[in-house]
Amino acid sequence: MDGLVSFDVKDRYGTSSGTINIFGAEAAGPNPNALSTTEKHTISKETLASILDTSDLVTTDVAYRFDAGNRLEFYSRSSGDPARVVLNTDDADHATRAIKAFGIDFNTAAQGSGETEFNMHVTDRTLKFQIGANKSQQLGFAIVNTSAESLQLNGLDITSTRAATKALGLIDAAVNRISSERSKLGSLQNRLNSTINNLNVTSTNLQATESKIRDVDIATETVEFTRSQIMIQAGTAQLAQARGLSQNALTLLQG
């Protein structure tokens, strides 16, 4: 027998929970399967949770919870603009019962913007390589978390067609993310190889320049040494001549 209200839930991928049947007891009567559209109906929190837990809702990206007032809320496990929670019923009578019995209006659609304001403390974990001799001549990059949990690949359910379809979507997204990271790392490796080659050329040029400077210094010192030697030798020769002149003068005086 159909429930008092039958509906399905769809997520951002279009995966459906299938038909969920909710039975309720009239607040004014004991009939548990009453289909009245004019009375308020009640259902226990535990019974409703049991119905949802045994449905295919678990195969979708949508989950449920009860607020402080024990009111049922459906929410998307995803975040941002793509998140979707769509409740639908194809039976007009069930739509009427939903409004009368439980206050659910399937004719009204509400879509969130996916925008949330919050404060976040971000720690810079970028790896930085000093590739130049001056300040800020650095090459930085970061590697994203590629664990199964971050890629939403933990506990994939492939026991049904809906669940397998959702799992394929998650696997495709994970493969694309890994491929993107591999391309980034390949580009980084090319940049590092180019930087290493440039540094090797710079190092070779620096060594050659230093060698030339040393050669110039040695030549200068050699010239200075030779000049000093010439000056010393010339001074010695002049001193010897001066001594010879004094000896000649004494010889003439004695003679």
pLDDT of res. 249:
62
Domains in the chain: boundaries: 5-102, 143-205
| pLDDT single digits (tens) 2-37 | 557 888 888 888 888 888 888 755 444 444 444 444
pLDDT band at residue 160 using 50, 70 and 90 as cut-offs:
confident
Q: Tell the burial category of 22 from Cβ atoms under 10 Å away from its Cβ (0-12, 13-18, 19+).
A: buried
**Euclidean distance between CA atoms 56 and 65, whole angstroms:** 16
**Euclidean distance between CA atoms 70 and 179, whole angstroms:** 45
**Euclidean distance between CA atoms 169 and 248, whole angstroms:** 118
Rounded mean pLDDT of 85-112?
Answer: 74
Question: Would the pLDDT of 66 be above 60?
Answer: yes
pLDDT of res. 196:
85
| pLDDT single digits (tens) 190-227 | 888 888 888 888 889 988 888 887 777 777 888 888 88
Lowest-pLDDT range, 33-47, 129-143, 190-204, 233-247?
33-47
Query: Does the predicted TM-score (pTM) go above 0.75?
Result: no
